[in-house]
Amino acid sequence: MQERKSKALIWLRNDLRLSDHFAFHHAAQHTEGAVAYYTFDPKHYIETSWGFKKTGSFRAQFVIETLHQLKHDLAQKNISLIVDTQAPEIGISQWTQKLSITDVYYQDEWTREEKISSESVRKELTSAITIHTFYDQFLFHPEDIPMEIENLPEVFTTFRKICEKMGRVRPCFSEISAFPKGNLIPQEFKIPTVSDLGLSQVERHPHSAFPFKGGSRSGKQRMDHYFWETEKLSFYKQTRNGLLGIDYSSKLSAWLSNGSLSARQIYWEVMAYENEVKKNQSTYWMIFELIWRDYFKYISLKHGDRIFHLGGILKKTYHWNNHPSKLASWINGTTQEPFVNANMIELLKTGWMSNRGRQNVASFFAKNLLMDWRMGAHYFESQLIDYDVHSNYGNWMYVAGVGNDPRNRKFNVRMQAERYDEGGKFQRLWNQQTLFE
């Protein structure tokens, strides 16, 4: 181990965990001290041009809960968590000067807003500070996939087969040792409430399929429950298109999206499960879904801002509508389709929707109403607890016919309802919620 000789500031973004984290692992080996920094960037809580908050109450609450857990975890290692509410370029510049920081770490991001934020932070740091950036959000690290980004296949199946055959998943980073107690900053940092962020307070709905708290501890408990305690993982492929209850799917996407769990942690847990319990199509399908998640990240890495353009990565021209009344009807669950309505009411009241529901409501929005799909994507960004920029815009492009679906399918919503909500139990549960408005 090299002698510690410097002090690091670790800027946390969507990597809100201590375990299996490159920056904490590297800083623990190479520095005398370290602090963590997170800011509720005001730009993330503005009202967008579409008329709703960029980050809504459900996701904000999940992030707040995540930070409370992370603050506790870091304190066990004598690392302070600085919690800020100003633009990162302002806050990080102030704290690097105040604490005589020599090294700044942050996860590399490449989508437009995140890239602008990174560049703004860089401009405010002195040349004496060493900047370390890293990719820590993938299953297959960019250095470990056998292809150049510009040659990335436009069809998922091709990408998947190459990764399965030739890619490798790196081991998780080992747990770090605690820093000396003198590393802690003698200051208490308050984590804001949802109200402090200008958002409405939310309560967990009694019928929510996602009643879980944020934070890596909660994520690990969920993984333990779904894998080891109930062995639901062995049936994941058969139940993943479910609509009701907490166990039809793993629900791990929310912890993945803000990085309180890493894709590597889930992958190696599946590998352990296969060794100790059972290996079958369902355990494979969990990895399959992690590769899909990677694929959308690589697609955005390859195509950049095209994922936010109306014509998508295919640069297609469609006639898209922009009717506020149709948007409001879709959001509030008052369309002519009960299955769409039930899913949208669930999202409105809980911040969660099943994968099957998301595909149907998105297809209805883009292919039936012919509404500008970006409006729907922005609403999902605001409302979903498990919002991830790459998966969200990648999936919306896919469903709208301007992304990576070579078949350009349109969902028959009524047939989907008959197939996946036989007897209409899900629709009755959520459509009746409008009676209590």
More confident residue, 409 or 147: 147
The residue behind tokens 């747990």 is: 175
pLDDT over 90, % of the chain: 93
Is the pLDDT score of 318 beyond 90?
no
What are phi and psi for residue 36, nearest 5 degrees? -110, 150
Distance CA 277, CA 168 (A): 23
Cα Rg of the chain, angstroms? 22
**Tokens matching residue 95:** 């704290």
- In this prediction, residue 434 carries a pLDDT of 58
Q: 340-362: per-residue pLDDT in tens?
A: 999 999 999 999 999 999 999 99
- In this prediction, residue 281 carries a pLDDT of 98
Q: Give the pLDDT band (50/70/90) at residue 1.
A: very low
Name the CA dihedral angle for 185, 188, 189, 190, rounded to a multiple of 10 degrees. 170
More confident residue, 434 or 276: 276
Q: 95-104: per-residue pLDDT in tens?
A: 999 999 999 9
Q: Give the pLDDT band (50/70/90) at residue 437.
A: very low
Please report which helix (H) or strand (E) contains residue 9, including its range: strand 7-11
Please report which helix (H) or strand (E) contains residue 332, including its range: helix 324-332
Mean pLDDT, rounded, for 37-62: 95
- In this prediction, residue 432 carries a pLDDT of 84
Q: Give the pLDDT band (50/70/90) at residue 407.
A: confident
**SS3 (DSSP) at 215:** coil
Domains parsed from the chain with CATH numbers: 7-136 (3.40.50.620), 138-169+216-303 (1.25.40.80), 309-436 (1.10.579.10)
Q: pTM for the complete prediction?
A: 0.95
Q: 154-193: per-residue pLDDT in tens?
A: 999 999 999 999 989 999 999 999 999 999 999 999 999 9
Q: 74-126: per-residue pLDDT in tens?
A: 999 999 999 999 999 999 999 999 999 999 999 999 999 999 999 999 999 99
More confident residue, 2 or 23: 23
- In this prediction, residue 405 carries a pLDDT of 79
**Least trusted range by pLDDT, from 314-318, 349-353, 416-420:** 314-318
Distance CA 31, CA 6 (A): 5
What are phi and psi for residue 9, nearest 5 degrees? -115, 125
Is the pLDDT score of 408 beyond 80?
no
> Could you give the C-alpha distances from 261 to 217, 218, 227, 399, in angstroms and in order?
9, 10, 15, 27
Q: Give the pLDDT band (50/70/90) at residue 2.
A: very low
Distance CA 84, CA 293 (A): 30
- In this prediction, residue 424 carries a pLDDT of 96
The residue behind tokens 């969660």 is: 352
